[in-house]
């Protein structure tokens, strides 16, 4: 008797209990990475790998002009990769971001990783991130162009950019004299630079002149996520000749679009 009553009261209790919530662990939707295997592209593949964010890579073959496809231009109006679409953007709605520096900052804010929120630490990172975006990247890019791709040898242009790149390595070497990474701790600023510094040989730089940069490069390149990021999509570039006039016609001599 007592047992039966107990059973009934247990049943009644169970009836009062609110229905158990269904488990709501949903897998995050992958970020779409519009990408080609270049130092600017590596910045984002490295960050996605470092943060272990799920992503799908959508190749943008810049040697074939895929950066001019209307759907890509809606995401990246500057006809440059990398760009991302995050289906889980602010407010749960999709967001697209172009410009590698802005993407790194976005992913840093989204994950809280490699981009500190404390203002002083954040300013340290931003200074070196923008140093890369406005200095090392463009100067090394121009050097690469005049050294490797220009149809005529323009000594003045080569020297101008070679000197500037050399100067920038010097700035970096001094900065790294008493710290492991550009902003102290490993951050998006290091991710922005590694693909560019990795081209030191092609840039005509003697790394023995810049021992702190050399040590930094070895340390950053030893990270498994960096290795994965810098391998992404390399196979797609195989066999592309940047000196092919058809490729050069796509990439060089671009002028304003009207739409
Ligand atoms: N400031 C841009 C530069 C990106 C950039 O120059 N991307 C190159 C490849 S490294 C590109 O997409 N080039 C296509 C073109 O020149 O049409 C960023 O950092 O995202």
CATH number at residue 134: 1.20.1050.10
Do residues 168 and 125 share a domain?
Answer: yes
Q: Say yes or no: 48 and 131 in one domain.
A: no
Question: What SS3 state is found at 85?
Answer: strand
42 & 108 share domain: yes
Q: What's the gap in Å between 26 CA and the centre of ligand 1?
A: 34
Q: Are residues 139 and 185 in the same domain?
A: yes
58 alpha carbon to ligand 1 midpoint, in Å? 15
The whole-number pLDDT of residue 4 equals 41
Query: Are 55 and 88 within one domain?
Result: yes
- Cα 49 to ligand 1 centroid, rounded to whole Å: 21
CATH code where residue 96 lies: 3.40.30.10
CB 97 within 8 A of CB 84: yes
Residue nearest to atom 4 of ligand 1 (CA): 80
For residue 20, the model assigns a pLDDT of: 57
Structural domain boundaries enclosing 49: 31-113+233-251
Ligand 1 pocket mutation pick from 43, 77, 79, 81 by most atoms within 8 angstroms of CB: 81
Are 220 and 194 in contact by the 8 Å Cβ rule? The answer is yes
Q: Are residues 196 and 126 in the same domain?
A: yes
Atom from ligand 1 closest to the CA of residue 39: 10
Q: Ligand 1 pocket, 111 CB below 6 A?
A: no
CA-closest candidate to residue 46, choices 194, 157, 174: 194
**Do 149 and 77 fall within a single domain?**
no
Largest CA distance in the chain: 103
If one counts the domains in the chain, the total is: 2
Looking at the fold, whether 51 and 98 belong to one and the same domain comes out as: yes
Instruction: Please indicate whether residue 51, judged by its CB atom, sits closer than 6 Å to ligand 1.
Output: no
| pLDDT by residue, tens only, the chain of 259 residues | 334 444 444 444 445 555 555 666 778 899 999 999 999 999 999 999 999 999 999 999 999 999 999 999 999 999 999 999 999 999 999 999 999 999 999 999 999 999 999 999 999 999 999 999 999 999 999 999 999 999 899 999 999 999 999 999 999 999 999 999 999 999 999 999 999 999 999 999 999 999 999 999 999 999 999 999 999 999 999 999 888 899 999 999 899 998 8
Q: Is residue 12 part of a domain?
A: no
**197 occurs within a structural domain:** yes
- Residue 24 forms part of a structural domain: no
Residue 23 lies in a domain: no
Extract the tokens encoding 37: 């295997």
Query: Nearest CA to 232 among 74, 45, 6, 64?
Result: 45
**Rounded Cα–Cα distance for residues 184 and 193 (Å):** 14
User: Which atom of ligand 1 has the smallest separation from the CA of 38?
Assistant: 10
In a domain, 5, yes or no: no
pTM summary value: 0.90
Q: Are residues 123 and 109 in the same domain?
A: no
| Residue entry with tokens 């593949």 | 45
Cα-to-centroid distance, 205 and ligand 1 (Å) = 23
* Cβ-Cβ contacts under 8 Å for 229 (sequence gap 6 or more): 42, 45, 46, 47, 48, 49, 50, 191
Q: Find the 16 Cα to ligand 1 centroid distance in Å.
A: 61
Both tokens of 96, joined, read 């697209």
Is the shortest distance between the CB of 67 and ligand 1 below 6 Å? yes
The answer to whether residue 81 sits within a structural domain is yes
Relative to beta strand 31-35, strand 55-59 is: parallel
Same domain flag for 94 and 138: no
Does a structural domain hold residue 25?
A: no
Atom of ligand 1 nearest to the CA of 99: 20
Nearest CA to ligand 1 atom 14: 80
Residues 133 and 156 occupy one common structural domain = yes
7 part of a folded domain? no
* Average of per-residue pLDDT values in the chain: 92
| Residues 176-223: tens digit of each pLDDT | 999 999 999 999 999 999 999 999 999 999 999 999 999 999 999 999
């Amino acid at each position: 008797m007592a047992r039966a009553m107990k059973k009934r009261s247990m049943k009644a209790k169970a009836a009062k209990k609110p229905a158990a919530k269904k488990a709501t662990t949903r897998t995050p939707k992958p970020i779409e990475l519009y990408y080609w295997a270049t130092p600017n592209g590596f910045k984002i593949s490295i960050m996605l790998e470092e943060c272990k964010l799920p992503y799908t890579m959508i190749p943008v073959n810049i040697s074939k002009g895929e950066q001019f496809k209307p759907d890509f231009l809606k995401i990246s109006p500057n006809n440059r990769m990398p760009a991302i679409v995050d289906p889980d953007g602010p407010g749960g709605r999709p967001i697209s971001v172009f410009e590698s520096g802005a993407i790194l900052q976005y992913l840093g804010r989204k994950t809280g990783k490699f981009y500190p929120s404390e203002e002083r630490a954040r300013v340290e990172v931003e200074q070196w991130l923008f140093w890369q975006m406005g200095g090392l990247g463009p100067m090394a890019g121009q050097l690469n162009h005049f050294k490797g791709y220009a149809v005529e040898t323009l000594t003045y242009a080569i020297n101008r950019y070679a000197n500037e790149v050399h100067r920038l390595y010097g700035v970096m070497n001094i900065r790294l004299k008493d710290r492991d990474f550009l902003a102290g701790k490993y951050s998006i600023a290091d991710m922005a630079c590694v693909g560019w510094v990795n081209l030191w040989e092609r840039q005509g730089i003697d790394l023995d002149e810049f021992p702190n940069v050399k040590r930094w490069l070895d340390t950053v390149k030893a990270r498994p996520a960096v290795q994965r990021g810098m391998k992404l999509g390399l196979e797609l570039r195989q066999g592309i000749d940047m000196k092919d006039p058809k490729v050069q016609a796509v990439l060089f001599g671009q002028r304003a679009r009207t739409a």
